[in-house]
Structure formats: C-alpha cells, structure tokens
Structure 1
Amino acid sequence: MRKKKEEPQVKFHEQIVTTGQLAAILGKTTRWINELDREGVLKKESRGKFVLNQAIQDYIEHLLGGKEDSKKPKLIDYKTEHEKTKAEKAALELEQYKGNLHAAADVELLLSDLILTTKSRLSGIPHRVGATCENETAEFITKEVTREIESALSGLARYTPDQIGGGGDGDSS
C-alpha cells in the first residue's frame, strides 16, 4: 500500500473560502458578499475566493464604521449622538412640565394677544380724547393723552409668565 502524500496543513484562520461559504458564515447572501467586494470592503484572494480571517476582520471593521484612524463617522458615534439627543429632548420636556419652558406656539399666541389688545387700546385714544378735549388747553390735552396712553400700556405691565399656555388668567384684559 502506498502512503498518501501529506499536504501541508492550512491553519483554520488562513483557509480560503468561497463566496457562498463566506455568506453562510456571516449570515448574509452571496449577493451581499459580492456587493461588499465591489465596494472594496472585502478583498478577494482570487475569483470568488476569500481568506477567511481577513474577510471576517474586514467585515467587522465595516460594521464598526471603518478603520479607527479614518475620518468617517462610526456606527457607535451615531448611537452616542442619538442617545445624547434623546437625553436633551427629555430634559426639555421636563422643563416644560415644570413650567420653566413654554412652547413657541403658546408664547406666540400670548404675544399676539397682548399686541392686538394694546393696539386696540391705543387706536381708541383719539376718539376718547377728542370728545373730552374739545376747546381745552394744550397742557390739558397733553395730560389727557398721556393718561390714556399709560392706561392702554398698563395691560403690558400686568403680563406674567404663568399666563403662557393657559396657566394664568390671561383673559382679564
């Protein structure tokens, strides 16, 4: 009987695998493996063949977002940014719940109401003053106009932040 010629034993991690075998190991399709090869993520040893350990390391590096020294953002960076954004959102919601932060729509509504009310009061001054100041001195007219303006603007002075969002008695105008 003739002895078989011993072939050099290839270490497991240096084995050459086909596209189908690599796809099965990584749990992906051969199409996915070929796409990664076209993108330069995986490097072929020869047509349809990959060195197992290098292919796995390249795939893991791809999943992590690239080489450590590359300028490309990594998946972990995106996750960290996402968690940071969620924390900021929670902090803003808490401040709004405590009444320290108000929605822009609520502030806009209150300010619009204050402006329209003040405009209406200021617009009514000529009619009110005109009737009472007929044939009066300039000094009397000045005092009367000043009093009416101060009265019209007093609504702005009575503004309180708790009127925003329906928390106060903003309808007392």
Structure 2
Amino acid sequence: MAKGETKGESLNDKEVLTGELASLLGKTPQWIRQLTREGVLKQCRRGRYILRENIHLYIEHVQGGKDESGKLKYSDVKTEHELVKKEKAEMELRVLKGQLHEAKDVRAVMTDMILTVKAKLQSIPARVAPQLDQEPATTIEKTLDKEISGALRSLTDYSPELFRTKESDE
C-alpha cells in the first residue's frame, strides 16, 4: 500500500485542493475559483472542497443548474434555439410548398389585383354608356351588374403561381 493512504478511504468525504478539483474536472484553478464565487461550487475550508459534493454540483451546473435568480440557463437557451431552428425549417418548407408567402409578395400581388379591378370598374361607364343609350332601366341594370361582376371576378383569380412570379421578378 502506498505511503499516506489508508485502507478503504471513502471519496464521499475526501477533501481536495482547488488545483486537484480543477485537474479532475479538466478546468483551471481560476475557473474553479470563479465557479465558487458564483456559488456553483462550495468550499468546506479555504481552498478545499468536498470531492463528491462538488462533483455533483459541477455536473448539475453543466446540465443547466437550478438557477432561481431568473437568469437563463444554458440548457434553456439551447432548447429555445433548437425550437427556433425547427420553426424556421417548418416555415421554409411551407414557402417551398407554396403554403406561405412573404408579406411583400402578398402586398405586391394584392396591389396588382386591386388596381386591375379598379381600372375595370372605372372603365365601365365609358364603355357601356353608348350601348345602353335609349335602353329600359332593367336592361341597363342587368348590363351594369354583368360588367361589375366580371370586374370583381378578377379578384377571385388567386393562384400560388402569382406569388412565384413576383418572387422571380425581384
């Protein structure tokens, strides 16, 4: 048996120095002191740590800890980041499938459709008036209704291709 060791010494209550704990955790003594100042690790005496307790505390810290101070834990930030990446991928897939369009594309297509309908509606009086001269009121009403309905029908001509065309134009 090596000099200084006792038979069956338990690691549960073993005290280690800052440097020894740093070496076991693969960190520097400065890092251990920083974690001690932050309250992650606990000294039993100046520069000494109970090995088992502090290994558990360090593992808990690496896994995200039990931070009650309101600060975000690393594991929470990483989880949130992964959720954002997932949501982004889902949105990109919907764009590729033509199920989701950018606001600027919707605005451009809708503006074109509305301006087309506006022009058609405004042209009705000049185009139809000569045809309806001396016609009875019912004929005028039916003709105007037909023309207005035709102009409004162009608002229902939605096609996902309209948005793809806008995207490729830009």
Compute the TM-score of the two structures, normalised by the length of structure 2.
0.68
Deviates most, 8-17 or 72-81: 72-81
Partner of 1:161: 160
Amino acid at match of 1:104: E
Q: Secondary structure at the match of 1:14?
A: coil
1:87-112, CA deviations, whole angstroms, 9 ceiling, x for partnerless residues?
Answer: 45444434433x34232243333222
Deviates most, 50-59 or 15-24: 15-24
Shift of residue 63, structure 1, vs aligned partner: 0.8
Contact 1:20 1:30 in 2 (8 A): yes
Shift of residue 58, structure 1, vs aligned partner: 0.7
Amino acid at match of 2:150: S
Structure 1 residues 33-48: aligned runs within 5 Å: 33-48=32-47
Structure 1 residues 78-93: aligned runs within 5 Å: 79=78, 82-83=81-82, 85-93=84-92
Compute the TM-score of the two structures, normalised by the length of structure 1.
0.67
Identify unmatched segments of 5+ residues in structure 1.
1-5, 168-173
| Matched-pair identity in % | 43
Paired with 1:104 and 1:153, the residues of 2 have a C-alpha distance of 25
Q: Secondary structure at the match of 1:45?
A: strand
The alignment yields a C-alpha RMSD, in angstroms, of: 3.5
Identify unmatched segments of 5+ residues in structure 2.
none
Partner of 1:171: none
Deviates most, 114-123 or 131-140: 131-140
Paired with 1:145 and 1:91, the residues of 2 have a C-alpha distance of 47
Paired with 1:116 and 1:32, the residues of 2 have a C-alpha distance of 66
